[in-house]
Structure 1
Amino acid sequence: MKNIKQFYSLIVLFSLFTLSCRQITKSVDETFHPNDSLAKKYNKENHFGTNGEYTGTTKTSTTTSVQRRQEKTIVINGDTIKTPEMELKAKEMFHDIELLKQKNDPSAANEIQKRVKEFLKEMKMPQGGLKNIDTEKSVVKAKKGILSAAALEKAEDQLKKLPQYQSKEILLYQSIHFYEDGSINLMLQHPVNPKYIDAYEYRDGAWSAPKPVLATDIERRTFPLSGMHFADAHRLLQLYNAKAAQVEGAKPTSDAYITIWDKGMRWAPRTINGTRERYDIQFNNNGTLKSFRQE
């Protein structure tokens, strides 16, 4: 029974919590009532029946000197658990999950998750698998890539419509960062007091409230928003990655940013590093390729 932890923690949890509510229904059925050869093979090797009952032979213990009976047990994390008790608890969990599935409600997914966690706690099984799954989801989400050209245009348009900048010129300060998770970070000169700078973040389709930041050389480090377009970041990344694909060992990128100095702007990244060669790459203000040469 040394694989019991993998069976419940990995197969059950991964199937239940990484799928949609409808997929959860299918996953529960396939996990606990397997009909494919792989699942049947696993159950046969680990002595599980089609309803989760344990069918193998385990160590025995006597109850009294008069009446002797066999009692199946397993040891999980140093705790001895009676398999009949586990079977009963598992069947109760299956029953509860079936009822939740019949609700046909998006909230059922969270209730199923809660119910399985209760089962794991009762059986003294580790619940760390949930954290790992959440982490995997975060990683996948972070790598979805920079916003599309249309989404970048929308973000720029929303920035221009901020109430505090109505009928005012928007001046970018120092830098703009376009990240692979779709967020944008930038700083703007204050709409009323030109000696102040505020930071803004664009995430999930909306701009944050302004946050004051310390700033120096404001006059030299500002550039008008009207002189560039956010959508150009998308074009730039396509060009950069196309060139990187031609260089041995070079890696593509999903981040782009702008630096501002002496009232001018420059796109980055500006280098492509391979295993044998290094290239300098420059872009025009509109994100088109300006130059590409080996260093």
Structure 2
Amino acid sequence: MKNLNNIPHLILLCCFLCMGCKQITKSVDETFNPNDSLVKKYEKENQFGTNREYTGTSKTTTTTQYQDKTIIINGDTVKTDEMQDKAKALFHDIELLKQKQTPADGKEIQKRVNEFLKEMKLPQGSTTNMEVEKPAIKVKKGILSVTELEKAEDKLRNLPRYKNKEIVLYESVHFYDDGSINLALQHPDNPKYVDAYQYKDGAWSSPKPVLARNIERRTFPLNKMHFADAHKILKIYNEKAAGIEGAAPTSDAYITIWDNGMRWNPRSINGSRDRYDIQFNTNGTLKSFRQE
């Protein structure tokens, strides 16, 4: 019965009222979980003591308060005798419907349970309608602003091992739309070594060794380019993409290095009908734009 997601709440409530009615508890136990009592499972998960005192922090949103012959649920008073009779009738109906084991009967059970929950002022429906903690959604903020990119470049130049030394980029530099920058630098003292760095939250990470290849062909001096030019790339690219049917804008920009030269990327715009080649100068200005 995949739809009976509120049954554990129902069983817990009724067990508080009907602890002396062992046959009802057994019937529900065999109906919905033949291998393990839902009541025991709920008590274990929610830390009820041997005397049914609460010993943990409950995650349920229902506030229950007991009095002599009434029960107060979320501010509504219900007579315990009346609730007990309704619970017995509900369990009887569920047992009869459960024996048929057809899809129609499953829906009827859910309907019957929801009617009871509505009367008891409890949540209804499947788990999709109940309060569930939702995972945090990562919000993309775009690449760093021009000023922030300038600061990132300045901080890179002032890293202790590179201060007052030439900084040589290796292979690529990536400007991501989460505000981070990934790059690799040739070691200032041993040109055969390369280390990777990441800029995030206003600071550069510690160096991480890179297994580099063809270093002599994959390097480019930092003083011949500027991080802030990444904004020019995005602006030009997206303006061109806006005029091409089916083309999507980009939020990332990156540099690739080969034969001691650098190229801004992306270098093509794909539409639903046409494809265009787009090239940029080192300073981020448009070099060429043509249909392929």
Q: TM-score, normalised by structure 1?
A: 0.58
- 1:241, CA displacement in angstroms? 0.3
1:265 corresponds, among 259, 262, 278, to 262
Q: Which amino acid in the other structure matches residue 260 of structure 2?
A: K
Q: Which runs of 5+ in 2 are unaligned?
A: 7-72, 87-111, 124-128
| 1:191 correspondence with 2:188 | yes
Kindly report which structure 2 residues correspond to 1:10-29, keeping only aligned pairs within 5 A, or say none.
Answer: none
CA pair 166-126 structure 1, distance change in 2 beyond 3 A: same
Q: Name the SS of the counterpart of 1:187 in structure 2.
A: strand
Partner of 2:38: none
Q: Which residue of 2 aligns with 1:244?
A: 241
1:103-122 residue pairs with structure 2 within 5 A? none
* Matching residue's letter, 2:230: A
Post-superposition offset of 1:61: 2.9
Taking the aligned partners of 1:228 and 1:181, their CA distance within structure 2 comes to 22
Question: What letter is aligned with 2:134?
Answer: K
Deviations 1:201-240 (A, max 9, x none): 0011110000001001111111000000000001110110
CA distance in 1, matches of 2:76, 2:247: 53
User: Compared with structure 1, are the counterparts of its residues 270 and 55 closer, same or farther at alpha carbon in structure 2 (3 Å cutoff)?
Assistant: farther
Count of residues paired in the alignment: 190
Q: Say if 1:192 and 1:126 are closer, same or farther in 2 by CA, change over 3 A.
A: farther
How far does residue 75 in structure 1 lie from its aligned partner after superposition? 5.5
Instruction: Report the Cα offset of residue 82 of structure 1.
Output: 9.5
Q: Distance in 2 between matches of 1:52 and 1:83?
A: 10
Q: Structure 1 residue 191: deviation in Å?
A: 1.4
* Alpha-carbon RMSD: 3.3
Give the alignment's TM-score, normalised by structure 2. Answer: 0.59
% same residue? 64
2: distance between equivalents of 1:224 and 1:54?
74
1:24-82: per-residue Cα shift (whole Å, max 9, x none)? xxxxxxxxxxxxxxxxxxxxxxxxxxx954599xx84339xxxxxxxxxx969xxx899
Runs of 5+ consecutive residues of structure 1 not aligned to the other structure: 6-50, 64-73, 88-124
Instruction: Work out the CA distance in 1 between the residues paired with 2:229 and 2:77.
Output: 63
Question: 2:205 and 2:118 mapped to 1: Cα distance?
Answer: 52
Q: 1:62 aligns with which of 85, 110, 120?
A: 85
Match of 1:18 in 2: none
Q: Distance in 1 between matches of 2:181 and 2:219?
A: 17
Q: Give the whole-Å Cα distance in 2 for the aligned partners of 1:144 and 1:209.
A: 24
CA 1:249–1:60: 2 relative to 1, 3 Å:
same
Larger Rg: 2
Task: Give the 3 Å change call, closer, same or farther, for CA 53–178 of structure 1 in structure 2.
Answer: same
Aligned to 2:133: 130
For residues 208-219 of structure 1, the aligned pairs below 5 Å read 208-219=205-216
Aligned to 2:277: 280
